[in-house]
Amino acid sequence: MKNSAMVSVALLVVSLAAWQWGPGLLHIPTFIVPPLSMVGGEFVHAWRFDHLMLHTGVTIVEVIAGFVLGSLLGAVVGYLLGMSPTAEVALSPYILALQIAPKVAFAPLFILWMGFTIYPKILVAVLIVFFPVMVNVLTAVRTVDPDLINLARAFKATRAQIFWKVEFPTSMPPMFAGLRIGATLAVVGVVVGELVGGNAGLGYLLTFGEGQANTPLVFVSIVMLTVVGSIAYLGVILIERRVLHYLPARAVGGNL
């Protein structure tokens, strides 16, 4: 574990050094790939004059809201479909059609409906997060060991007791796997909404930098989006380890 951490840190140092001196050695213009020092200088400037933290905070709020709502909706629908084969047959074609439709196409529609507010960005994130969580929960519920359910029935367990004592605990690890995916996809959904019609957030700042041909500001926005996505992913892992503390560490997120 210690050696792996050292290797990871060494790779980070090498990557940052390559970013700083690589473009100059390869004679790449700074307006294409600015060196790390230039991006750092632009970060300070954006912090002081471009309200970088305000835009980051807006994106974080939208990501959290989209992730929580999308996860709750996906989990509820997944459990309902998993426990009711009739509902699965009836609703699956419509859910599949919603998933096949490109989420980017919904962003302009949501903006037409709700204007340049945070709600279109949150809705796009909800749509993107919903499907992986729903599929993981549905698959977990439908693949619960039938012997466990039969044993619970033999002890006169009600349908609600079977769900809370057998199906729900069994589905928790797959559900958290879907939440890991959803945590990163929520950032993608929010950025799509901000790029299409945002007036605040890191996606808007990225578009603003593009319009000014300010490549360092674009890199600053991308780095901050990466940080936001990483924090969201790590947050899910920490909650997963707390909830599924009874599982081995490697199964709960020992390997990122």
Residue 139: exposure state from Cβ atoms within 10 A (0-12, 13-18, ≥19):
middle
| Cα separation, 97 vs 59, whole angstroms | 28
169-174, long-range: CB within 8 Å, 24+ apart, which pairs?
170/140, 170/141, 170/144, 170/145, 171/79, 171/82, 171/137, 171/140, 171/141, 171/144, 172/243, 172/244, 173/140, 173/244, 173/247, 173/251, 173/252, 174/136, 174/137, 174/139, 174/140
Express each pLDDT in 80-127 by its tens digit.
888 887 877 778 788 778 777 777 788 888 888 888 888 889 999 999
236 belongs to a structural domain: yes
The token pair at 17 is 């050094």
- Judged against a pLDDT cut of 90, whether residue 16 lies above it is answered with no
Express each pLDDT in 150-186 by its tens digit.
788 888 778 888 888 888 888 888 899 999 999 999 9
CB 207 within 8 A of CB 151: no
- Judged against a pLDDT cut of 70, whether residue 219 lies above it is answered with yes
Query: Residue 49 belongs to what domain range?
Result: 36-254
DSSP string spanning 187-239? Answer: HHHHHHHHHHH-SSSHHHHHHHHHHTT-HHHHHHHHHHHHHHHHHHHHHHHHH
29 belongs to a structural domain: no
Instruction: Give the domain CATH number at 125.
Output: 1.10.3720.10
20 belongs to a structural domain: no
Mean pLDDT within 140-153: 82
| Cα separation, 238 vs 203, whole angstroms | 27
Nearest partner of 238 among 183, 188, 164, 185, judged by Cα? 183
74 belongs to a structural domain: yes
13 belongs to a structural domain: no
CB 191 within 8 A of CB 104: no
CB 221 within 8 A of CB 202: yes
160 belongs to a structural domain: yes
